[in-house]
Chain A
Amino acid sequence: MSKKLLEKFVKKDYELGFETRVEAETAPQGLSEETIKFIWQKKQEPPFMLDWRLKAYRYWLTMKEPTWANLAYDPIDYQKIIYYSSPKKRPGSLQDIDPEIRKTYEKLGIPLKEQEVLSGVVAVDAIFDSVSVLTTYRKKLQELGIIFCSISEATKEYPDLVKKYLGSVVPYTDNFFATLNSAVFSDGSFVYVPKGVKCPIELSSYFRMNTPQAGQFERTLIVAEEGSYVSYIEGCSAPQRFEHQLHAAVVELIAKEDAQIRYATVQNWYPGDKKGKGGVFNFVTKRGMCAGDNSKISWTQLETGSAITWKYPSCILKGENSVGEFYSLAITSNYQQADTGTKMIHLGRNTKSRIVSKSVSAMNGNNSFRGLVKVVRNADNSQSFSRCDALLIGPKCGAHTFPHFEVYNNTSRVGHEASTSRIGKDIIFYLRQRGLSEEQAVALIVSGFTREVLEKLPFEFAAEAKKLLSVTLEGSVG
């Protein structure tokens, strides 16, 4: 790999780093019971939510920030963060959305409009800092019995559902960041698909962080009743800033008997500059419960942004014959660090899981895969297969694999494969001897390496993801 090419890597630009000028209403800096009451009041939530948030906050005060991840970063000062920020003007409908915010989403390529026909469209829940500014296709989906709205609206309009499922997969005591999220979460999406309904369009939410020093605490909850199906995708970006910004999210999925949930993430938070200054700290807890027999949950993630990624989308395979899948592609360049992976907990009989993790590291980027496969004593005939492949570009980056297996059942099968390859001089020369430039060579290798995961993204987003990949590795991917 020539120096010139490596330098081009450094010069990659973050295209979504612009800021939106809009008047914001924010909570005072710092975290206290007052902050939590402020958020609760702003959101006009029912009383049970305040109890839940405060319980989480008091529990959080007893917890310590985890240090086991293979990540190095300066300590986070939780009293310097702004926990709530909302644009002052809130739209009542599609027509009266703030033009500045509309422009922002246009620039991001997110359509905030609706068409008459449902084929080939994507419904969007647009979240700007701490609030959902708009959810499209809400009414049309309602005709099918599907609820798709922001979690804030759900606490008011469907309190019974929220009360029943919120924290049922990720309890408020789960871990340091999930507990913090439970105390202060601002917005996210709520999806409820009734029995037997197949959601005909892709649902999505787009998270945008805008206000300086404001953290974003996304909370998403998806419930798929018996025999239903839903596919959901989450996208994210943030302005370029010199300070680090915190994003601590919790996502919970519940799939009942014969239900299927596909959840995809295209994460493109601001990664920091080429010297490692700024960038989003992304600490996320995502977990799905395959509660019913024959249910299926698949996670697909494309992680290209953030300075720090700490994220392990997991499945609890409780129902018999249930299936959990995890497809991940994490790309780190400059000084980005990612510690990501999954947990597959096999509780039911004949449960299956599949893990495919690919990482690409360039410059000083560092990627770690961390996985846990656990098969309990009664989970007869369960199967799990994992594969972790790492691709290194240049001499200074790193890839690490930390697989962990706990199998307490003799009739189950668990397999693991891992590989690491480096794009070295010999490979580049081989391809150049066949008429390809150095940039074309790297692009071909990366696209070949990442194909298996990109193919798992919903069709509507595959092209977008490819584009993102080429922006992220710009310079090497010509």
Chain B
Amino acid sequence: MLTIKNLQVSTEGKEILKGVDLEIKAGQTHAIMGQNGSGKTTLAKIIAGQQEGFLVQGRISFLGKNLLQMEPEERAKAGIFMAFQSPIEIPGLALASFLTSSLNEISKSRGERPLDPMDFSDLAKEEAAFLGLKQEFLARGVNEGFSGGERKKNEIFQMRVLRPLLSILDEIDSGLDVDSLKKVAQAINESRTRENSFLIITHYQRILNYIKPDFVHVMVGGRIARSGGAELALEIEEKGYGHLS
């Protein structure tokens, strides 16, 4: 589904990614672990299309298309979703009307009919209830007055409604208490199918207790230093990142 070849990214003369290779196939869940500043978030941004200010070399293909030449909204329509590390507040724009517009645009590009407002409302209410988000949040401005944990849940809520093919979850676990983490993990697990894939970016092994990845990669200094199975996460937890660098 996603193939990254020798991705090199720099900004203001500083190299951030120094040749990353990664292949994610349909139905797989990958985790990227690493310390702050190792380049995890930059990798997520480049895949999602936040390229301004970066010098990018290498190739990323998504379902056979050259991703680096596509606008961010084209990538979203092709099936890429990013859950942001610090979701932004948009005062005055009701979450429900934002998500309706978003879903309609994405459905249109899939050749599907837009959902009628009643069906959308039912779907949104159901998914919000599942994540423990209050219904009144749908009428509020996007993330307006949401706590840190509610903002993270809101990202997963949007993912559930939009049903992307590849979900990049950038530190979805940070700022969540244990109960919320379990809820979010449950929602992610229920979204896993043979068709769709996940890229979970995290600092800590904690979330991987609830979501079992097929592959774990450890990033150090802009490179993938090691790749392995789920057991690699436990090794990191035990020995720390230090022994890899």
Binding site for B on A (CB under 8 A): 389, 391, 419, 421, 425-427, 429-437, 440, 444-445, 448-449, 451
Q: Which residue of chain B is the closest to A391 with respect to CB atoms? A: B92
Q: Using Cβ atoms and an 8 Å threshold, which residues of chain B touch A429?
A: 49-50, 72
Q: Using Cβ atoms and an 8 Å threshold, which residues of chain A touch B101?
A: 436, 440, 444
| 25 A–B pairs (Cβ distance < 8 Å), ordered by A | A389-B91, A427-B90, A429-B50, A429-B72, A430-B88, A431-B90, A431-B102, A432-B49, A433-B49, A433-B72, A433-B81, A434-B99, A434-B102, A434-B162, A435-B77, A435-B105, A435-B162, A436-B73, A437-B71, A440-B101, A444-B101, A445-B92, A448-B90, A448-B98, A449-B93
Q: Using Cβ atoms and an 8 Å threshold, which residues of chain B touch A437?
A: 71, 73
Given contacts A429-B50, A448-B141, contact A435 B73 (CB under 8 A): yes
Closest 5 CB pairs between A and B? A448-B93, A435-B76, A434-B102, A449-B92, A432-B72
Q: Identify which of B75, B90, B105, B109 contacts A430 (C-beta below 8 A).
A: B90
Q: Which residue of chain B is the closest to A445 with respect to CB atoms? A: B93
Our count of residue pairs bridging A and B at CB distance below 8 angstroms stands at 75
A389 CA to B56 CA, complexed, in Å: 39
A154 CA to B219 CA, complexed, in Å: 82
A391 CA to B92 CA, complexed, in Å: 10
Q: Using Cβ atoms and an 8 Å threshold, which residues of chain A touch B98?
A: 431, 434, 444, 448
Q: Which residue of chain A is the closest to B162 with respect to CB atoms? A: A434
Chain A contact surface mostly: helix
B37 at the interface (CB under 8 A from A): no
Select the residue from B71, B73, B75, B81 with max chain A CB neighbours within 10 A. Answer: B73
B48 touches A433 (CB 8 A): yes
B37-96: which residues lie under 8 A (CB-CB) from chain A?
A: 48-50, 52, 71-73, 75-77, 81-82, 84, 87-88, 90-94
A421 CA to B88 CA, complexed, in Å: 12
Q: Identify which of B72, B75, B88, B92 contacts A448 (C-beta below 8 A).
A: B92
Closest Cβ–Cβ distance, residue A466 to chain B (whole Å): 14
A451 CA to B84 CA, complexed, in Å: 27
Q: Which residue of chain A is the closest to B107 with respect to CB atoms? A: A435
Given contacts A429-B72, A440-B101, A444-B101, contact A435 B106 (CB under 8 A): yes
Select the residue from B71, B72, B98, B158 with max chain A CB neighbours within 10 A. Answer: B72
Q: Using Cβ atoms and an 8 Å threshold, which residues of chain B touch A436?
A: 73, 101-102, 105
